[in-house]
């Protein structure tokens, strides 16, 4: 029968030895077992891990830097003429541009009826009727407008305008700018 003190001594020794065990067969960081047969002089043969330095020093990608884009819709209600603009990085400029677009389309008393940032807009029109809807996606904005048109029992409902002005990640946008191909080999 084994005494309790001997059991404790055995447990302590096992715990002390457990700290010396290595998961890579005893190789230091950046090395792995080479697969060669161990010898008494070198119990484990180690070789460098390919591209270990490169893997360890890969830079973290920069955090996203967002540009919030805006759009606006103007209307000359007397003439039923719209002016629209999207994907502007300034809401005030979006609104003034929508008014200029409305005037350019023949409107004279153009006023902003909706402006939006990081969202999608749709204008649905029918006979003598219109709805301007803002939502998270273009499909949702269009569907909201079409539902309103159907609920009001308007005939001839159709999408007059749809646009999304969503935030963009500046770093990703910079990486996706196409480089012109010159046609020659370097």
Predicted confidence band at 181 (pLDDT cuts at 50, 70, 90)?
very low
- pLDDT, tens digit, 9 for 90 and up, residues 49-72: 776 555 556 677 778 889 999 999
**2-17: average pLDDT:** 70
Decide which of 63 and 99 is more confident.
99
DSSP string, the chain: ---HHHHHHHHHHHHHHHTT--TTTTPPTTEEE--PPP-SS-SS-EEEPTTHHHHHTPPPPPPP-EE--EEEEEEETTTTEEEEEEEES-HHHHHHHHHHHHHHTT-SS-EEEEEEESEEEEEEEETTEEEEEEESSHHHHHHHHHHHHHHTT-SS-EEEEEEEE--EEHHHHHHTPPPPP-SS--
14 compared with 69, residue with greater pLDDT: 69
Q: Tell me what pLDDT residue 18 has.
A: 61
Total-model pTM:
0.62
* Residue 128 pLDDT greater than 60, yes or no: yes
What's the rounded mean pLDDT across residues 106-127?
97
Residue 179 has pLDDT above 50, yes or no: no
Please report which confidence band the pLDDT of residue 46 belongs to, taking 50, 70 and 90 as the band edges. Answer: confident
Q: Does pLDDT of 27 surpass 70? A: yes
Q: How does residue 186 score in pLDDT terms, banded at 50, 70 and 90?
A: very low
Please determine, for residue 185, whether its predicted confidence score (pLDDT) is greater than 50.
no
- What's the chain's average pLDDT? 82
- The pLDDT assigned to 182 comes to 46
Q: Reply yes or no on whether the pLDDT at 157 is more than 70.
A: yes
Question: Is residue 144 scored above 60 in pLDDT?
Answer: yes
């Amino acid at each position: 029968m084994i005494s309790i003190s001997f059991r404790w001594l055995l447990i302590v020794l096992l715990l002390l030895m457990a700290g010396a065990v290595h998961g890579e067969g005893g190789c230091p960081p950046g090395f792995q077992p080479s697969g060669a047969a161990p010898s008494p002089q070198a119990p484990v043969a180690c070789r460098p891990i390919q591209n270990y330095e490169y893997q360890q020093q890969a830079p973290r990608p920069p955090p996203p830097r967002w540009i919030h884009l805006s759009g606006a819709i103007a209307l000359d209600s007397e003439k039923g003429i719209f002016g629209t603009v999207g994907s502007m990085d300034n809401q005030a400029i979006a609104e003034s541009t929508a008014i200029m677009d409305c005037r350019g389309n023949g409107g004279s008393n153009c006023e902003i009826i909706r402006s939006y940032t990081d969202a999608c807009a749709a204008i649905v029109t029918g006979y003598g009727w219109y709805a301007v809807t803002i939502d998270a996606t273009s499909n949702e904005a269009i569907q909201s407008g079409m539902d309103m048109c159907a609920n009001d029992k308007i005939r001839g409902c159709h999408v007059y305008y749809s646009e999304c002005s969503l935030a963009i990640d500046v770093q990703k946008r910079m990486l996706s700018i196409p480089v012109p191909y010159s046609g020659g080999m370097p």
